[in-house]
Amino acid sequence: MPSWHTQQDAVGARPATPRLLAPVPFDVEAVFPELTGTARGVTLLYPRVGQPGPGDSSIGGPLLWPADEPWPMCAAQDHYKPLAPPVGPEPVAMVPVVQLYAWDVPSLVFPAGTDLLQILWCPLVHEDGQYAANPRLHWRSAVVTAAGAVAGEPPRPHTAEGDYLPRPCTLSPTTAVEYPNWDLPEGLGALLEERFEALKEERGYDYFEVATTQQSKVGGYPAWTQQPDWPDCADCGTRMERLLSVTATEPGVGRWLPLDDRDPRHDATPSWRVEADPGALDTFGHDMCLGDLGGMYFFVCRRCPDTPYTHRYDC
C-alpha cells in the first residue's frame, strides 16, 4: 500500500465518476399517486474491486488515519467466532469498511467542520442482540487529517470472521431517486398489491424492481430484508435519520445495473431485464456475506451534539 503521506495532495483533487443508469420506465407517482411525497434521493455506491488509496472514497480500502490517534481495537468480552469457542480477552483490531469524502457524496450532510466519514468494525460476531460485527463511526476534516496522516499499514485482526472482511473496492457514487419498499406507509402495501401485480402483468416489471434499491448506498431507504426496525435516539428519544447501508447484494441484473456493465449481447433487452457482462460479475461488491441477503444499516441523530449514531443488522 502507498505511504499515507503520499496521498495528501490527492485528497479532494478529483471526485469519483458516477455510473450511467437506465431511466425509470414509468412515472411512479403518476401510476401510483398514493406514493406522492415518498420519493427520496439516494446515492448508490457501486463498489467494484480495485486499489483505492487513503485519499479515495472506498469500501474495504485504506483509511486516511491521524498519526496521533491509536488504531481502534475491540476488547469486548461477548464476541466469538461461530461454531468455535470464545476468542478470549486479547483485543481484536478493527477493519476499515467505509470511507466517504464529501465531494463524492454531495447529498450527505456532514457535521460542521468535517468532510470525511469513516466506518470500521470488529470482524467478529457480537452477542449484543444483533449478532453481527460491531461498528465504529468517525467524522473528520480531510485537510486536518491529511496534514498529520500516519504512514504504513494499520494493525490486522489476529482472528476474524471472514464474512466481515471486505475486499478493497473503489466506488462510483451515483445519484438517483427511489421509493419505499418495506417502509411503505402503513396499510399502503396491501392496498397497492393488486395494482403492483397488474403492472407486472401488463408491462413485464413490477414496482419493486424499478423503483426500489437493494444495494450499498447513502440516503434513500434501508434495504430491509426483514420488518423495518428504525431506531430512536438514546439521548433525545426522536427517530434517528438514515445515514447509509452496507449490503450483501449488488445488482447483477435489472434497471439498477449500470449501462456500461450490461452484457453487450443483450443490447435489445429491456433495461429492467438486462443482465451483467459475465466477465465483470466477479468485480462486483465487497464480497462479504451479511446473513443471506442482509445488510448493516447506519443511523444518526442530528438534533443532539456530537451526532450520535447507531446501527441495525438484518439477514
Q: How many domains does the structure of the chain reveal? A: 1
pTM score, two decimals? 0.92
Straight-line distance from the first to the last Cα atom of the chain, in angstroms, rounded to the nearest whole number: 33
pLDDT range class, residue 307, cuts 50, 70, 90: very high
d(CA 74, CA 157): 10
CATH number of the domain enclosing 193: 2.30.320.10
Q: What sign for the dihedral angle of Cα 249, 28, 18, 64?
A: negative
Q: Residue 73: which domain range? A: 4-314
Q: What is the pLDDT of residues 250-305, one digit of tens each?
A: 999 999 999 999 988 877 777 778 899 998 999 999 999 887 778 999 999 999 99
Per-residue model confidence (pLDDT) at position 13: 52
